[in-house]
Amino acid sequence: MSEPAYHPRELLITSIARLAKGARHAAAGAQSAVPGSGLFLAQQWAAEARERPMQVTVLGSSKFYPFTDGGRELFDMAGQGRLDVFFLSGGQIDGFGNSNLVGIGDYPNVKVRFPGSFGSAYLFYVVRRVILFREEHSRRVFVPKVDFISTPGASPPNVYRPGGPVALITPLCLFSFNRECARFTLESIHEGHTLEEVLDNTGFEFDRPQQVPTTAPPTPHDLSLMREIIAPKIADAYPSFARDMWGYEPEAA
């Protein structure tokens, strides 16, 4: 099998852009270079198609974070239903869509400590489309049951919850998430990987079609956009990523 003409992360970026398509306002974190790049690609698609403009906010960016009061204004917008897409992750994620950002072990005596879940649970409830993203696909990450629930994937029927997870994307595959039954479905497997690989490295059960399709690759035009337009655009927020991924040097701009 010949090597694909794109970097595996370019496939992830393109897949994320498809998930974010149609959003009015989407945001990514200061350490979320792949999701952030995907949002800018979706924004570029919308501009080329002359569709409704898409606002992209990147936490910590001098160019793409218009707020002046820390994260408070972004949280206010999310609570008002004005943030359509956001990305979250976790040290552990289980088959119910729960994410653990606290630690591994019996709380509070955890063996491994994660960064914490400040704000994550709130955004998990109010952002319409939360996309879970991890660049490690292993059984230590994707577990049958998380040790601590930082962000619950689903809520009881009597709980008002306009937002929540819609998908999980990893270096191996793309899952969709059904909030009603709190269960993942395998939507596609990335080129170069197999169903057996996904099964071997996933600790939770999931649904899948009889024939799992291959994730659609980026088009030559998508690759040109990423390498020529997105790379310099993200260099403000993710300079190391722009340099390592596409060889773009921000200081030369």
- Indicate the pTM of the whole model: 0.94
Structure tokens, 216 = 């659609």
pLDDT digits (tens, 9 = 90+) for 49-103: 999 999 999 998 889 998 888 788 999 999 999 999 999 999 999 999 999 999 9
pLDDT digits (tens, 9 = 90+) for 108-148: 788 888 887 878 989 999 999 999 999 999 999 999 999 99
Segments making up each domain of the chain, as ranges: 1-88+219-253
Report which of residues 92 and 1 the model is more confident about. Answer: 92
Angle between helices 8-20 and 33-48 in degrees, nearest 10: 60
Answer for the pair 82, 25: CB distance below 8 angstroms, yes or no.
Answer: yes
Structure tokens, 233 = 């655009």
Please, which pLDDT band fits residue 104 given cuts at 50, 70 and 90? very high
| Residue 171 CB-half CA count within 13 A | 10
Pairing relationship of beta strands 25-28 and 55-58 according to DSSP bridges: parallel
List CB contacts of 166: < 8 A, sequence separation 6 or more: 19, 129, 130, 131, 176, 177
pLDDT digits (tens, 9 = 90+) for 189-226: 999 999 999 999 999 999 999 999 999 999 999 999 99
pLDDT at 253: 45
Q: Is the pLDDT of residue 31 over 80?
A: yes
